[in-house]
Amino acid sequence: MQGFDRILFVMEPGQEPAWALARAGAFAANVQADLTLLMVAERPAATAELDQAQVEAAIRDQCLATMQGALAALAQPIEAECLVAFGRPHIEIIRTVLRGGHDLVIKAAEPQGGGLRARWLGSRDMHLLRKCPCPVWLLKPDGRQPYRRILATVDFTPGADEDAETEGLNRRILDLASALALAEFAELHVAHVWEAPATGFLHHWAGGVWTTDTTVDELRYVEQTRNQHVLGVDGLIKALAERIGPEGLEYLKPRSHLQRGSAIEEIPALAVELDVDLIVMGTVGRGGIPGLLIGNTAETILDRCDRAVLAVKPPSFETPVSLGD
């Protein structure tokens, strides 16, 4: 099962999200992981009196003082390493992940129109979700603590020889969701959206003519299709049970939800119906399209859900960001 050893919490310059830092600190303590704080500042220009190195040193000292002060102000103080980087936020966050071997990034979601409204382009959170090699957990300011319900979304095609990428991604989603649910003492819900694509196109040969009176055939086809998806979800949960053990399974009692229709409609509706606190979703969509979170489907889901999100990459994902100089 997925565990956490090194967690990176990102603080925005000029903001004091004490609630988010407290959230990250409590979670790190709960899972016994090391916590690192990072603040990324814009690279300064030299002045008439100071060269660039001196300006950077002054800004670094100010950022370190801000992070250390935020740690000291917590009701339950925590120990954490504090780092400062200069450059584009998502690039420097990812470089810090690569250097430090962090297995989870936590940050407060950017305030965009009153909700978790990740934009396709121009959003720092969006860039991070797209390119960060480890899972990214975006927190909501009005979220419950601890969480009560976590929703894991899985995707597969019944009857097809699923590639290792899809299997690995589903496994990571469920492992992360179950680890969080156990740490938060939360309910675990597993969602899968399915469709019967041939509905409306079925016909059969009768009396020498094609007939469209296929109600019985369509009902049978839909039921068979649904049963295949049920078996698929049951198989994923059974495999999860083998990884977390009988005690973990007994506590979690994962609840599965098979929603027929469009993921754009069904996932947000289910999140509202269940009143979930966090959605755990993959960043590769059906059809092998890399970076689901840059597509209209996932952007719309996040736009409509208005919930905290934990974005998970497939096992073979390689970030396009390099350590650089």
- Provide the residue count of the chain: 325
Q: How far is CA 47 from CA 38, 185, 269, in A?
A: 26, 53, 54
Is pLDDT above 70 for 139?
A: yes
Give the per-residue pLDDT at 306: 80
Question: What pTM value is reported for the model?
Answer: 0.85
Mean pLDDT of 257-284: 90
| C-alpha dist (Å) from residue 146 to 23, 30, 77, 215 | 9, 11, 18, 48
Q: Which of 60-64, 192-196, 234-238, 284-288 has the lowest mean pLDDT?
A: 284-288
What's the pLDDT band for 121 if we cut at 50, 70, 90? very low
Q: Which of 136, 85, 88, 147 is nearest to 109 (CA)?
A: 136
pLDDT, average across residues 240-267: 91
Residue 95 scores a pLDDT above 90: yes
Q: Which part of the chain has CATH 3.40.50.12370? A: 144-325
Q: Does 114 have pLDDT greater than 60?
A: no
Question: CATH 3.40.50.620 residue ranges in the chain?
Answer: 1-108
DSSP string, 115-177: B----SSS-HHHHHHHH-SS-EEEE-TT--SS-SEEEEE----TTS---HHHHHHHHHHHHHH
Q: Does the pLDDT at position 312 exceed 70?
A: yes
Report pLDDT for 21.
93
List, as one string, the DSSP characters of 188-226. Answer: EEEEEEE--TTTTT--EEETTEEE---HHHHHHHHHHHH
pLDDT of residue 113: 54
Cβ neighbors of 49 (< 8 A, separation 6 or more) are none
Distance of CA 39 to the CA centre of its chain: 21
pLDDT at residue 103 above 80? Answer: yes
| Token code pair at residue 261 | 């229709």
DSSP 21-89: HHHHHHHHHHHT-EEEEEEEEPPPPP-SSS-HHHHHHHHHHHHHHHHHHHHHTSSS----EEEEEES-H
Is residue 49 very low, low, confident or very high in pLDDT (cuts 50, 70, 90)?
low
Q: Are 177 and 152 in contact (CB under 8 A)?
A: yes
Give dist(CA 229, CA 236) in Å, integer.
11
Tokens representing 301 are: 């889901």
d(CA 129, CA 118): 10
**Could you tell me whether strands 278-282 and 308-312 are parallel, antiparallel, or unpaired per DSSP bridges?**
parallel
Average pLDDT, the chain: 83
When mean pLDDT is compared across 7-16, 50-59, 128-137, 248-257, the lowest value belongs to 50-59
pLDDT at 115 over 50: no
Is 287 a residue whose pLDDT tops 90? Answer: no
CATH number of 144-325: 3.40.50.12370
Among candidate residues 191, 156, 171, the one with its CA nearest the CA of residue 270: 191
Task: Name the residue with higher pLDDT: 127 or 181.
Answer: 181
**Residue 64: count of CB within 10 angstroms of its CB:** 15
- Which of the residue ranges 93-102, 133-142, 160-169, 306-315 would you say has the lowest mean pLDDT? 160-169
Angle formed at CA 129 by CA 123 and CA 131, multiple of 5 degrees: 100
Which range has the worst mean pLDDT, 66-80, 185-199, 229-243, 300-314? 300-314
**CA separation for the pair 239, 175 (Å, rounded):** 10
Nearest CA among 137, 102, 111 for reference residue 279 = 137
In the predicted model, is pLDDT for residue 99 greater than 90?
yes
Write the CATH number of the domain with boundaries 1-108: 3.40.50.620
Give the mean pLDDT of 244-258: 91
